[in-house]
Amino acid sequence: MAPTIKVGDTVPEGTFMHVPYSPELNSHAACGVPNKLDIKEWKGKKVVVFSVPGAFTPTCHVKHLPQYVEKYNEFKDKGVDVIAVIAANDTFVMSGWGRFEGLKDKILTLSNPNAEWSGKMGLSVDLSAVAFGTRTVRYAMIIDDLVVKYVEAKPGKGEVTVSGADAVLSKL
């Protein structure tokens, strides 16, 4: 899949829902309070965004997110201010996935319902045939002061290549 957004473009406006980490989330009885994150908050920051079709799905859960958790310090050493994972799942599922993975405040888990933001960039896919509805494709972006410095989408089903942590680190 070739995204419609290109290196040098400014990312489209968008708002995500997420549950910010707080110590009470360490309890499985707490759900947290969803907050909005406006893309404008990334102005002046270096941000790595990677997107998965779904939280807790086999490739996303086992092969994609763990790479970023493992290499978190390498991203920070390269000056990355924010690392975020985006999926079409609802806010509470994304928060639960982050809690399950022990992300705390290291990697933001952002809800992109119906792949609205991703779709603005040609990075959504209709997975209605498998009862998933519209989802984000597997992709990664480096955004610096809201300008795209790297964007690539997966070449095949179940693969984590151009959107994986090593591929993105090599472009920083």
Nearest to 68 by CA among 60, 35, 133: 60
What angle (nearest 5°) sits at the alpha carbon of residue 103, between those of residues 99 and 105?
110
Q: Is 31 a catalytic residue?
A: no
Catalytic position from the list 5, 52, 60, 86: 60
Handedness of CA 104, 24, 100, 142 (dihedral sign): negative
Q: How many CA atoms lie within 13 A of 140 on its CB side?
A: 25
Query: Per the structure block, which two tokens stand in for 151?
Result: 């964007």
Beta-carbon contacts of 61 under 8 Å, excluding residues fewer than 6 positions away, are 55, 97
**Residues annotated as catalytic (active site), given as ranges:** 60
